Amino acid sequence: MALERARALEVPAMEEIQRIVREILPKAPGMPEFPFEYGRVYMEEAKWYKVEFKQPFAEVPSVLLSAEIRTGWFRPKRYVVPTVKISIPKAEVPSVSIPTVSVPKVAVPQAPSIGIPRVELPKAPTIRIPSIALPSAPTISIPRVDLPKAPSISIPTIRVPTVEIARISRGDLRPTVRDQFRAALGDWGWLNWARNAIADGPGWVVGSFLNWLWDVMVQPQIDKVRDAINRGLRSMTSNTQAAINTFRDHVQSSVNTGLSDARSKVQAALNAYRDYIQRSVNAGLADARAKTQAALNTYQGNIQGSVNAGLADSRAKTQAALNAYRDYIQKSVNAGLADAREKVQIAFNDLRGRLQANFNQTVSGANESLAILRDSTNRGLETLRSGAESGINTSAEKLRASVEDAFNTLIPTLWAMEGMPEGVLMTPAIYRNVTPTGFEVLSLGKMTVSYLAVGLKV
């Protein structure tokens, strides 16, 4: 049996409603606008009616249907998007200290004492003075001084933390809208079950429609902005990590090369000075021995000739003179050796002090440079961290505020789209048999219904 057609009503401000619907429906580059149809029909009796679309669709469209009942003004509650707070942890460069190197002391061995044997002249009249052979000049060997190996420093790798903005998503809006419909109808006492039956239907339908609008239009845009920010954060983190690692490798290589080069140069200078002093002392000892031997031999020959030509009593004088000269030579040689040893020791102590001071000054300068590098690196990392955190949080707050404002315009926009007068709520209507040309709706008697159909037109 054919159903009676519902009477179509004029729609006030149709162009404004069409504009609002076009703004709500999702858009994408290269995709045509969604075709839709909006209308209002009136039915007199409690029975099924036939509603025909003004123009047929190419396939079965999606239909949103609501009936008008007058119960008082409804003010929807604002939806608040949760705030996302992002905090980037600090990165700290540890202190690196180069240990002080102590140059060991060099002790020159005690100068040996040379004993010249006493010469006893034979009794007159014939005196023969034997030749005096001095012992070979001793060779002094100064021990080699080896500096400890130059320390090698290792600056630990600095890790820049990865930062990502969490996904902003919605909750289920159907219970929230349902509760707002109940509150708008007020407290009916023991008839609250009837109030709930009237309010839950439109609350659930409107909440489902708002869920659909969020998922289709709002959520993809939020995800695009969040993904773009996260890509920028990952790129910034990667570039910062590479720059810090390159700077760290350069500093570590430069410091270790400088320490090794300084140690090699100090060791070479110390070895050269040791060899020079050792050669000088041994050459001086050999020369003093040779000259003393020559003087003794000459003086022995002169004394022997004079004694043999002189009187017998000159033997005692010659003996005394020879002994005095022997004592003088022995004292002079030993005093010279002791003085040479003392001067060599003073020279070595002075060299060690200057080497120690220069090396420690080099180490102190290296430690100061490392401290300056560490402090400047930490300041740069803190500036980078605080700037990135501030920028990210500002972007996240702007995104949250814009999403909240955009979403909260949907609820009043939905009422404007439906063309509802003030003091009117929506309630769902029962419908069936949706086809490309229309659908069937159940009237409860003297009932006005608004519908929105979205699909592909012929």
CA–CA separation, 426 and 424 (whole Å) = 7
Asked if residue 283 has pLDDT above 60, the reply is yes
* 183 token code pair: 């509150």
> Above pLDDT 70, what percent of the chain?
75
Identify which of 38, 37, 41 has the alpha carbon closest to the alpha carbon of residue 9. 41
Asked if residue 28 has pLDDT above 60, the reply is no
CA–CA separation, 457 and 49 (whole Å) = 23
**Per-residue buried b or exposed e for 173-184, using 16+ beta carbons within 10 Å of the residue's own CB:** bbeebbebbbeb
The larger pLDDT score, comparing residue 203 to residue 274, is at: 274
Only one residue has tokens 């290792």, namely 154
The larger pLDDT score, comparing residue 34 to residue 60, is at: 60
Asked if residue 311 has pLDDT above 60, the reply is no
Domain segments of the chain as ranges: 230-403
Instruction: For 180-189, write each residue's pLDDT tens digit.
Output: 878 888 898 8
Side-chain half-sphere of 350: how many Cα atoms within 13 Å?
7
CA–CA separation, 409 and 365 (whole Å) = 66
282-289, Cβ contacts within 8 angstroms, sequence gap of 24 or more? 282/137, 282/139, 282/140, 284/340, 285/137, 285/138, 285/139, 285/140, 285/337, 285/340, 286/137, 288/137, 288/333, 288/336, 289/134, 289/135, 289/136, 289/137
Structure confidence at residue 422 (pLDDT):
52
CA–CA separation, 13 and 7 (whole Å) = 19
Instruction: For 343-377, write each residue's pLDDT tens digit.
Output: 969 887 887 888 788 878 877 887 888 788 788 87
For the chain, what's the residue count?
458
Asked if residue 169 has pLDDT above 60, the reply is yes
**pTM metric for this prediction:** 0.42
